[in-house]
Chains A and B, each alone.
Chain A
Amino acid sequence: MSNLVEISQVEKEYGRKKQVFTNLNLSLESGKIIGLLGPNGSGKTTLIKMLAGLLKQDAGEITINGQKVGPDTKAVVSYLPERTYFNESLKIKNLVNMFKDFYADFDEARAYHMMELLKIEPEMVFKKLSKGNKEKVQLIMVMSRRAKLYLLDEPIAGVDPAARDYILQTIITNYDTQGSILISTHLISDIENILDDVIFVKEGNIVCHQNADTLRNEKGQSVDEIFREVFRC
């Protein structure tokens, strides 16, 4: 049986001095919400960018849905970057139209419906939204695609607890059990309830890849507590 994502013997460095991955091997199954957990600088964003096709590994192979990362995989991968890449002077409706043009699997009605619930009008300019609403709109756009793999890079960083709840709820509501969601974060206690599996990355190595409930059962601790132990400075 083939996995949704297969990463084998991947190496990645930024120049000679900064080696991120020396031999990365990882498989991700379909139908899971997976937490990619690690401290700053452990390689989370680099890994997500390689899966999104924005960075190329120096060696090794990455396949998604059986295909090497490229235009074919971009059509089935929905990516939420850490920082916005939207042209902020566009109106919401222009952003929606852009997504509709770019992605065959984008569900326009779903996006507008979710924004209506938040009282965000199509005529509003993205720049004028509050920080929380900007985050929400970006998530709505990304989650309105019917993708196989969602890559969410720090989706809950820097928003208030109510917005955080909204974001988690949006993820659960829109998650269809055919696809998988990879969420990177260091705010573990906020998110651990919705995770099936957790991956701990430490200095470019996968130190743990396990079902969250199995881990809690084995250690009698929360994922957050286990994380603090593994990454104690």
Chain B
Amino acid sequence: MAWKFDNSSPIYIQIMEQIKKMIARGELKPGDRVPAVRDMALMAGVNPNTMQKALSELERAGILVSNRTAGRFVADLNDNNINLKNDAGYKLTKNYVEGMRELGFNDEELVDRVKGFIEG
């Protein structure tokens, strides 16, 4: 069972996030064919119905497109104005900034911390 899930939130949403990450990292590129639902379900170790739901939701979000005869593909995300790498980066930044503010760091300090971390 290859994929790890945190069972405290819906599995289909976590599958969507995983696939978005694969696209953001360039492991799946626009135009690439997505394996069949059953194969994807086996890969992830989940129920085919759950995988089906995740893939349909990704289609609805314009990230995948389905072609009736040929299967499902990664959409041309530029056309759809979607940048998954930016979206994922924004989320991570937001988590960091909010987490630091909650601990009582001011904005200047939290920027300095990032600089300090990168410079080692």
Contacts and interface: CB of A to CB of B under 8 A. Distances in A.
A binds B: yes
Interface in A168-184: 168-169, 172-173, 175, 177
Interface residues of A, number: 27
A33 B47 contact: yes
Contacts of A169: 1, 42, 45
Contact of A193 (B5, B13, B48): B5
Given A173-B42, A175-B48, A213 B8 contact: no
A193 B49 contact: no
Nearest to B6: A222
Contacts of A175: 47-48
B3 to A, nearest CB: 9
Of the listed residues B6, B7, B10, B11, the one surrounded by the most CB atoms of chain A closer than 10 A to its CB is B7
Contact of A189 (B7, B42, B50, B53): B7
A177 B7 contact: no
Given A169-B45, A193-B46, A217 B7 contact: no
A205 B7 CA distance: 25
What DSSP secondary structure best describes chain A's contact surface? Answer: helix
A177 B48 contact: yes
Given A172-B47, A196-B47, A216 B7 contact: yes
- Considering the complex of A and B, which 10 residue pairs feature the smallest CB-CB distances, nearest first? A222-B7, A213-B10, A194-B47, A222-B8, A221-B8, A217-B10, A216-B10, A33-B47, A196-B49, A193-B46
19 contacts: A168-B45, A169-B1, A169-B42, A172-B42, A172-B45, A175-B48, A193-B5, A193-B7, A193-B46, A194-B47, A195-B47, A196-B47, A212-B11, A213-B12, A216-B7, A217-B10, A222-B7, A225-B7, A225-B8
Interface of B: 1, 5-13, 38, 41-42, 45-50, 53
